[in-house]
Amino acid sequence: MEIEKGKYRHFKGGEYEVLSMARHSESCEEMVVYRALYGEGEIWVRPAAMWNDTVTREGVTCCRFTKIED
């Protein structure tokens, strides 16, 4: 699954920058390496399948992350 580098908005409003893709050392699961564009700019990882997932909140279904900029 392809996730492009760039800026994304989380469905709760936070903005993040995808830095790279990686693989989990034990399961080989694809992971997204990303940085928060607020606060301390912490680096996080999340399974790619979860990154591309949809969520339902207050009866509205949307993407967990939406690309906003390259």
For residue 24, is it within any domain?
Answer: yes
For residue 11, is it within any domain?
Answer: yes
The token pair that represents 13 in the structure block: 């409003």
Considering the entire predicted model, what is its pTM?
Answer: 0.89
Local confidence band at 23 (pLDDT 50, 70, 90 cut-offs): very high
For residue 65, is it within any domain?
Answer: yes
- Secondary structure class of 49 (helix, strand, coil): helix
- State how far the Cα of 18 lies from the Cα of 62, in Å rounded to an integer: 19
Q: What is the pLDDT of residues 30-70, one digit of tens each?
A: 999 999 999 999 999 999 999 999 999 899 999 999 999 87
For residue 35, is it within any domain?
Answer: yes
Residue-number span of the structural domain to which 41 is assigned? 6-69
Residue 65, domain CATH? 2.30.30.320
**Total structural domains within the chain:** 1
- Predicted local confidence at residue 1, as pLDDT: 61
